[in-house]
Structure 1
Amino acid sequence: MFEIEYERVCSVYYGRERVMMATLKSKLRGRLMSFHGARKNTRNALWIVYSPKSKTDLSLASNNECVYWVANLEANPTIRSFKFGCEAELKLQGEDKFRNREFIHVELNNGEVQVHTLCAGDGGIDNGTITLRELFAGRAVVEERQVTFVKVHADYLRQQAQKATRTLRLVGFASQIRGRRHDVTSCAVELAILSLKVGTVEQILLATSRHDPMVVLGVFAEKVLTGGIEIDLTERAFGNHSHWKLT
């Protein structure tokens, strides 16, 4: 995972941090953003992250987007998928005309589609409805529909920063096994979870001591992020002493 600023590249991986100095010319930065998906907020910090839920790399155009991704989207088991940097014609309540806006496209497990936006200012999360106008692929017709509109204020994201930092370590462990199959270890972890039903991460490691502990942690982290297991990250980041339980 990389946060790219004007003259610093900070690499965070598996809970360890490495800092190296580099000068990124605008052309290199532009190529990077083009490769990972063009975004508008090119003057802010740029995060390139791997999403275990989406099983793909994401480009996040600000620190706020990174906090919202890891604390509210990636770790939320009720959310099936999400996509940053979407654009469509939207009309808020009280508006007469549609306007082209950038937003986060979110789909819940029940199939509901939501429009999420991040904004400045104080406040928490405001929920409402918005009219979405879109052209469906393969169909020469434009459709309008009412969807849930979620407006997230910067003040709320500041309050979520600590949770995001702790959850980021969980995502890091899940990312280390990306693109690999660990069927035997996965079965062992699942058996340990079903047998214990509640406990600490250290107990999972002890119950699967014949397997590579880094792979065990990666498999367990994946299972937490996909839902069904609740883990306590209120006091510390993901680690041996983290408490978990089946839900």
Structure 2
Amino acid sequence: MSSLKSKLRGKLLKSHGERKNSKNHIWLSYSLKKSGDITLASNNECIYWASELEPNPYIKDFLFGVEVVIQYPWEETARKREVILTETHTGTAEFHQLISGMKGEQREMVTVFEGGISAGEVPINFFDTKNVASAVRRSGNWLKVISFAAQIRDELCLVETNWVNLFLRTNRAGDVQQLIMSSMVYDQMKILGVFARAALMGDIELEFVSNVFGRNTRWTLRGD
């Protein structure tokens, strides 16, 4: 019999979940984690994905629109709900859910049911859409970073990648202005695209000066 972990992983391997019809805005964006374009079924999904999923090095993969039967700790019965299924960098499965008004903690353990039988517990992370304003600016900054990665998509850019990697390891910290001025002999869009990849992969940490991604944005090599 397949384990809960293997079944969840099987769902995650699908490139797109089957989404319900929605009157909300539909967003199409490039995702480095998915190596292609993804569809997001609402403004809230776009904000959460750009601020908490795509740039999070703890999350390896994700899938929106997954329906599961789960029971919250404060409930007596389980219900079918739509969640975001994620795989962490350690290979474990976690749920994320956008809700309006939280009853419990921001992170809980929920019981998953299959065929009316408990199949185990999975961590779930709640995002209260009533507080979405706090994530808007962060998502806007990361959408700018994602746009630079989208310009090169899956292009190898070997020359630029080797140069950026050497630049990051040599300097270990700096700002985007320094990166641009030091790479004038290279294709600037490719340099910024490779730099954006490094940020999205978690190789470097960004500090958005004045909450804006631009030339003054500070970066630090992770592990220092």
TM-score under structure 2 length normalisation: 0.84
C-alpha deviation, 1:201, in angstroms: 0.9
Residues 1:240 and 2:220 are matched in the alignment: no
Aligned partner of 1:44: which letter? N
Pick aligned residue for 2:86 from 99, 106, 124: 106
Q: Do the aligned partners of residues 134 and 105 (structure 1) sit closer, same or farther apart at CA in structure 2, a change above 3 Å counting?
A: farther
Q: Do the aligned partners of residues 229 and 125 (structure 1) sit closer, same or farther apart at CA in structure 2, a change above 3 Å counting?
A: farther
Unaligned stretches of 5+ in structure 1? 1-35, 136-141
Moved more, 224-233 or 204-213: 204-213
Other-structure match for 2:32: 52
TM-score under structure 1 length normalisation: 0.77
Q: Distance in 2 between matches of 1:236 and 1:149?
A: 29
Residues 1:63 and 2:43 are matched in the alignment: yes
Write out aligned runs for 1:1-247 (5 A).
37-40=17-20, 42-121=22-101, 126-133=106-113, 144-233=119-208, 235-247=210-222
C-alpha deviation, 1:45, in angstroms: 0.9
Q: Distance in 1 between matches of 2:123 and 2:50?
A: 21
Q: Do the aligned partners of residues 169 and 134 (structure 1) sit closer, same or farther apart at CA in structure 2, a change above 3 Å counting?
A: farther
Other-structure match for 2:7: none
C-alpha deviation, 1:43, in angstroms: 0.7
C-alpha deviation, 1:52, in angstroms: 1.1
Do the aligned residues in 1 keep the contact of 2:176 with 2:214 (CA within 8 Å)?
yes
- The structure, 1 or 2, with the larger RCO (C-alpha pairs under 8 Å, 6+ apart) is 2
C-alpha deviation, 1:64, in angstroms: 0.6
Q: Distance in 2 between matches of 1:169 and 1:143?
A: 42
Question: By percentage of residues, which structure has more strand?
Answer: 1
Q: Deviations over 1:45-80 (max 9, x none)?
A: 111111112212211111111000000011111111
Q: Distance in 1 between matches of 2:49 and 2:86?
A: 11
Moved more, 143-152 or 176-185: 143-152
Q: Distance in 1 between matches of 2:191 and 2:25?
A: 33
Aligned partner of 1:221: which letter? A
Aligned partner of 1:89: which letter? V
Do the aligned residues in 2 keep the contact of 1:116 with 1:152 (CA within 8 Å)?
yes
Q: SS at 1:71's partner residue?
A: helix
Q: SS at 1:224's partner residue?
A: helix
Unaligned stretches of 5+ in structure 2? 1-15
Equivalences, count: 207
Task: Calculate the aligned-residue CA RMSD, in Å.
Answer: 2.3
